[in-house]
Structure 1
Amino acid sequence: MSAPIRVVICDDQALIRTGLATIVDAQPDLEVVGECGDGQTGVDLARELRPDVVVMDIRMPVLDGLEATRLLAGAGVAHPVKVLVVTTFNLDEYVYEALRAGASGFLLKDAPPDRLLHGIRTVAMGAALLDPDVTRRLVGRYAARIRPAEGTARDIPLTPRETEVLRLIADGLSNSEIAAALVISPETVKTFVSRILTKLDLRDRVQAVVFAYRHGLVT
Structure 2
Amino acid sequence: MKVILFGATGMVGQGVMRECLHDPRVTQVLAVGRTATGLTHAKLSELTLPAMTDPGMTDWETLDGLLAGYDACFFCLGVSSSGMTEDAYTRITHGLTLEVARTLARLNSGMTFIYVSGSGTDGTERGRTMWARVKGRTENDLRRLPFKAVYLFRPGLIPPLHGARSKTSVYRLFYTLTAPLLPLARRLFPNQVLTTVEIGQAMLNAAERGAPQAVLETADIRRVVA
TM-score (norm 1): 0.43
Which structure has the bigger radius of gyration?
1
Higher RCO structure, 1 or 2 (CA under 8 Å, sep 6+): 2
Q: Could you state the TM-score of these two structures normalised by the residue count of structure 2?
A: 0.42
